C-alpha cells in the first residue's frame, strides 16, 4: 500500500505578531484519520489573516485560509476524497451529523467549526514543524504552505474544470458576501441597501444585492480609491464619512428616505455596527454583521432601535454550509452567473507574500492571489 510519508516543503511562517513572514523548510506530517493532505495551488490573502497576524499570540504559525488545491494523500477512513481531487479548503467545516449540520437554520458545525487555538480539530495537535519545533495552524487550514493537512470535513470537492487560481476566492470572502445578501438577509427586489466597507467582502454583498434587484446600493468607505471598482459590482452611491460634518447615518437616512432596508457591516469595527443599525429603517430594517473586529468586541446600541422593530443579525461564511453549498456556487461562477475574477487585483508568486500584506494594509488591493 501507498503509505504517505512526511513531506518537506516551503511555507511562509509567521514568527511574531506583525513581523514579515519568513520562508522556511517545514515538515508536514501525513494526514491522520479522516484528514487529507493537500498540495496548495493558490491562496488569496483575506483581511482576517492580517487581523489574526497583528493581534493574536499563537506563534510560530502558518496563516492562510482562502485557498484551492489538489489532494495529495488521504488518511485512514477517508472515503470522500482520492488523490488528485480538486478542493477548496474552508475555515469552518461541515461534519454533516451534528445538530447544526442537520438543521437548515445553521452553518455552525459543532465538530469542525472555527478553530481558534492553532491546532487540528481531531487531536489538538499540529501537522507542521520547523527543525523539530511545532508550528501552529490557522483556522485549521494554513494555506501559506506548499502542502497542508486539513480535516476532510474542512475541504470541498469541486469540478476539475473550475480554475483553481480564481475559485480560491469562493472559499471565504466572496462566498461570505454573497451568502450574507442571499441567505442571511434574503434581500428582496427593489430594496435599498447600505454597505459599510468596500473591500472584497463588502463588494461581494453589493454583487449579491444587485443580482437580487436592489434599487439603490449605498457604499460607505473612507478610501475613495474603492469607488471605481465598487461601481462594477453595483454600488450606486458612494459616501466617504470624512467628507461630511454630520454623522454618516444621518446622510444615509436622508438619501434613502428614512433608512435602508438592509445594512451590512463589512469592516470589522464594532462602532460601525452601531452606525449600521442606526442607518436602517424602523419596522423591518435589518443589519447584518460580517466583519471580524480586532479590538473593542462589545457592541453598543440604544434599545430604542429594537423597540422600533430593527433586527441585528450575525453571520459566519454567509450562512453557507460549505460542503452542501459551495459546489453550486462554483457552478454559478462557471456559468458566468457571478463575477469572481473582478475581485482579483493582484497575482503574486509565493515568495512575495509579504507584498500582499503590505498592499492590503495600505488599502491598495481587493484580493491578491498567491500562486504557489
Ligand atoms: N469607515 C469606512 N470604511 C472603512 C473604515 C471606516 N472607519 N475602516 C476601514 N474601512 C474600509 C477600508 O477602506 C476597506 O476598503 O473597509 C474596507 C475593508 O476591506 P478589506 O480590508 O479589503 O477587508 P475584507 O477582506 O473585505 O474583509 C472585511 O470582513 O471577513 C471580515 O475580517 C474581515 O473584518 C473584515 C471584513
Ligand atoms: Zn457538524
Cell of 324: 452542501
Q: Which ligand is nearest to the CA of 294?
A: 1
**Helix (DSSP H) and strand (DSSP E) numbers for the chain:** 11, 17
Residue 55: φ, ψ to 5°: -120, -10
Instruction: Return residues with CB closer than 5 A to ligand 2 (ion).
Output: 95, 98, 101, 109, 111
268 CA: nearest ligand 1 atom = 34
Give the H/E segment covering residue 358.
helix 353-361
pTM value is: 0.96
pLDDT of residue 56: 86
| Interior/surface letters 293-312, b for 16+ CB within 10 angstroms, e for the rest | bbeeeeeeeeeebeeeebeb
Cell of 29: 506530517
48 CA: nearest ligand 1 atom = 32
Q: What whole-number distance in Å separates Cα of residue 91 and Cα of residue 140?
A: 7
Q: What SS3 class is residue 60?
A: coil
Contact present, 335 and 327 (Cβ < 8 Å)? no
Q: CA 349 → CA 43, 54, 68, 135, distances in Å? A: 10, 23, 15, 23
Contact present, 366 and 343 (Cβ < 8 Å)? yes
Using a 6 Å cutoff on CB, does residue 173 contact ligand 1? Answer: yes
- Of 88, 120, 139, 110, which is closest to residue 292 (Cα–Cα)? 139
Query: Best substitution site from 267, 275, 362 to test ligand 1's pocket, by max atoms within 8 Å of Cβ?
Result: 267
Using a 6 Å cutoff on CB, does residue 65 contact ligand 1? Answer: no
pLDDT of residue 3: 74
Q: Which ligand is nearest to the CA of 121?
A: 2
Using a 6 Å cutoff on CB, does residue 125 contact ligand 1? Answer: no
Give 60 Cα–ligand 2 centroid separation in angstroms.
29
Give 48 Cα–ligand 1 centroid separation in angstroms.
10
Using a 6 Å cutoff on CB, does residue 241 contact ligand 1? Answer: yes
Using a 6 Å cutoff on CB, does residue 292 contact ligand 1? Answer: yes
Contacts of residue 330, Cβ cutoff 8 Å, sequence gap at least 6: 88, 158, 159, 162, 167, 170
Give 197 Cα–ligand 1 centroid separation in angstroms.
5
Using a 6 Å cutoff on CB, does residue 299 contact ligand 1? Answer: no
Q: What is the ipTM of this complex?
A: 0.98
pLDDT of residue 121: 95
Using a 6 Å cutoff on CB, does residue 359 contact ligand 1? Answer: no
- Of 139, 174, 166, 177, which is closest to residue 155 (Cα–Cα)? 139
| Beta pairing class for 367-371 and 262-265 | unpaired
Locus of grid cell 498567491 = 370
Q: Which ligand is nearest to the CA of 103?
A: 2
Nearest-CA residue for ligand 1 atom 16 is 197
366 CA: nearest ligand 1 atom = 22
Residue 326: φ, ψ to 5°: -65, -40
Using a 6 Å cutoff on CB, does residue 240 contact ligand 1? Answer: no
Using a 6 Å cutoff on CB, does residue 47 contact ligand 1? Answer: yes
Using a 6 Å cutoff on CB, does residue 267 contact ligand 1? Answer: yes
Give 114 Cα–ligand 2 centroid separation in angstroms.
11
Give 142 Cα–ligand 2 centroid separation in angstroms.
21
Using a 6 Å cutoff on CB, does residue 363 contact ligand 1? Answer: yes
Cell of 359: 498592499
Q: What whole-number distance in Å separates Cα of residue 146 and Cα of residue 152?
A: 18
Give 196 Cα–ligand 1 centroid separation in angstroms.
8
Using a 6 Å cutoff on CB, does residue 179 contact ligand 1? Answer: no
pLDDT means per 10 residues, the chain with 372 residues, are: 85 97 98 98 96 93 98 97 98 97 97 95 96 96 98 98 98 98 98 98 98 98 95 97 98 98 97 98 98 91 97 98 97 98 98 98 97 97
Cell of 16: 511574531
Cell of 176: 461570505
pLDDT of residue 1: 54
Amino acid at each position: 500500500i501507498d503509505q504517505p510519508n512526511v513531506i518537506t516543503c516551503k511555507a511562509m511562517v509567521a514568527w511574531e505578531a506583525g513581523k514579515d513572514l519568513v520562508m522556511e523548510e517545514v515538515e508536514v506530517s501525513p494526514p491522520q484519520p479522516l484528514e487529507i493532505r493537500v498540495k496548495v495551488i493558490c491562496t488569496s490573502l483575506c483581511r482576517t489573516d492580517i487581523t489574526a497576524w497583528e493581534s493574536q499570540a499563537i506563534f510560530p504559525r502558518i496563516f492562510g485560509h482562502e485557498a484551492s488545491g489538489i489532494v495529495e494523500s488521504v488518511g485512514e477512513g477517508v472515503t470522500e476524497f482520492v488523490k488528485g481531487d480538486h478542493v477548496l479548503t474552508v475555515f469552518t467545516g461541515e461534519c454533516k451529523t451534528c445538530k447544526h449540520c442537520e438543521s437548515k437554520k445553521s452553518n455552525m458545525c459543532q465538530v469542525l467549526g472555527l478553530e481558534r487555538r492553532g491546532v487540528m480539530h481531531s487531536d489538538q495537535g499540529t501537522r507542521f514543524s520547523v527543525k523539530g519545533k511545532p508550528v501552529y495552524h490557522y483556522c485549521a487550514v494554513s494555506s501559506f504552505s506548499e502542502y497542508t493537512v486539513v480535516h476532510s470535513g474542512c475541504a470541498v470537492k469541486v469540478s476539475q474544470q473550475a480554475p483553481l487560481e480564481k475559485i480560491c476566492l469562493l472559499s471565504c470572502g466572496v462566498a461570505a458576501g454573497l451568502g450574507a445578501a442571499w441567505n442571511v438577509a434574503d434581500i428582496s427586489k427593489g430594496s435599498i441597501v447600505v454597505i459599510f466597507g468596500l473591500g472584497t467582502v463588502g463588494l461581494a454583498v453589493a454583487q449579491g444585492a444587485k443580482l437580487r434587484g436592489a434599487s439603490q446600493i449605498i457604499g460607505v468607505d473612507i478610501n475613495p480609491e474603492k469607488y471605481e471598482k465598487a461601481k462594477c459590482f453595483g454600488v450606486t452611491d458612494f459616501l466617504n464619512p470624512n467628507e461630511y460634518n454630520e454623522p454618516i447615518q444621518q446622510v444615509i437616512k436622508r438619501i434613502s428616505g428614512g433608512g435602508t432596508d438592509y445594512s451590512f457591516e463589512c469592516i470589522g469595527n464594532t462602532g460601525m455596527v452601531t452606525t449600521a443599525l442606526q442607518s436602517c429603517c424602523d419596522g423591518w430594517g435589518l443589519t447584518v454583521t460580517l466583519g471580524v473586529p480586532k479590538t473593542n468586541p462589545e457592541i453598543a446600541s440604544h434599545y430604542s432601535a429594537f423597540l422600533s422593530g430593527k433586527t441585528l443579525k450575525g453571520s459566519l461564511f454567509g450562512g453557507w454550509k460549505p460542503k452542501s453549498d459551495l459546489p453550486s456556487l462554483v457552478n454559478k461562477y462557471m456559468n458566468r452567473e457571478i463575477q469572481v475574477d473582478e475581485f482579483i487585483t493582484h497575482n503574486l508568486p509565493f515568495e512575495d507574500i509579504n507584498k500582499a500584506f503590505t498592499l492590503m494594509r495600505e488599502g491598495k488591493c481587493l484580493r491578491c492571489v498567491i500562486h504557489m
